[in-house]
Structure 1
Amino acid sequence: MSARKRAPQRTDGIDAAVEAVERNARPIEDGLDRIVETATDASYVLIGEASHGTSEFYRRRAQVTAELIRETDVAFVGVEGDWTDCFAVNRHVRGDPTAPEDTRTVLEGFDRWPTWMWANWEVLDFLEWLREYNAERPPEDRVGFYGLDVYSLYESMAAVVDYLDDLDPELAERARDAYHCFEPYGEDAREYARSTRIAPENCEDEVVSVLTDIVDKLPRPETGGDAVDESAFDAVQNALVARNAESYYREMAKGGPESWNVRDRHMTDTLDRLCEREDTEGAAIVWAHNTHVGDARATDMADRGKVNIGQLARERHGEDDVHLVGMGTHRGSVIAGRSWDATPERMEVPAATNASYGDVFHRAGVGDAAMVFDDADASGLEPERGQRAIGVVYHPERELGNYVPTVLPERYDSFVHVEESRALYPLATHSERRDVPETYPWGV
Structure 2
Amino acid sequence: MSTASIAGTEPWYRSLNANQWKTMIASNIGWMFDGYETFALILTVGVALHQLLPASELSHTQAFAGTVIGITLLGWGVGGVIGGILADYLGRRRTMILAILAYSLTTGLSALAWDWVSFALLRFVVGVAIGSEWATGASMTAEVWPDHARGRGAGLMQCGLGIGFFLASFIWLFISGYGPNAWRIMFLLGIVPGLFALWLRSGIDESKRWEATNEKRKSARAKKMSGAVLAPEEHALNRFTIADLFADPELRKRAIICFFMSLTTTLAWWGISTWVPPFVAAVAAAQHLPPQTWASYAAMSYNIGGIIGYAGLGFMADRFGRKPVVMLFFAASLVLTPALYMWTTNLELLVLIAAVNGIFTLGQYSWLSVWLPELFPTRMRATGMAFVFNAPRFIAFMGPLFAGLLIVQFGGFSKMAVAFSLIYILGFVLVPFLPETKGQPLPT
TM range (shorter): under 0.3
Higher fraction of helix = 2
Higher fraction of strand = 1
